[in-house]
Amino acid sequence: MAKTVVRDLGDNELVEELANRRKVLFDLRFKLATGSLETTSKLKAERQQIARILTELREREIAAAEAAAEKDQ
């Protein structure tokens, strides 16, 4: 999922996608611990996706706070 795709998702969709990605990351870590994971690059890719989603959520949170502060003035 590219950065542009993450920006197009709604807040609820982002939260759901974050939960799904964290579950996938957990499963990958479990496979790594048991020795059944073939490519470790999947771990890095999932961590990057989680970071993209968290960054987008934080950017939206900051934008909402700034909009509320401007509205109060």
Residue ranges per domain, the chain? 3-72
Query: If we measure between CA atoms, which residue out of 27, 19, 56 comes closest to residue 43?
Result: 27
Mean predicted confidence (pLDDT) in 4-10 = 87
pLDDT in tens, 31-41: 999 999 999 99
Supply 57's token pair.
């959520």
Amino acid (one-letter) located at 35: G
Whole-structure pTM over 0.85, yes or no? Answer: yes
Q: CB atoms < 10 A from the CB of 59, how many?
A: 11
Q: DSSP assignment of 26-41, as one string?
A: HHHHHHHHHT--S-TH
3-72, what's its fold?
Helix Hairpins (1.10.287)
pLDDT in tens, 9-52: 999 999 999 999 999 999 999 999 999 999 999 999 999 999 99
Measured distance between the N- and C-terminal CA atoms of the chain, rounded to whole angstroms: 38
pLDDT of 2 > 80? The answer is: no
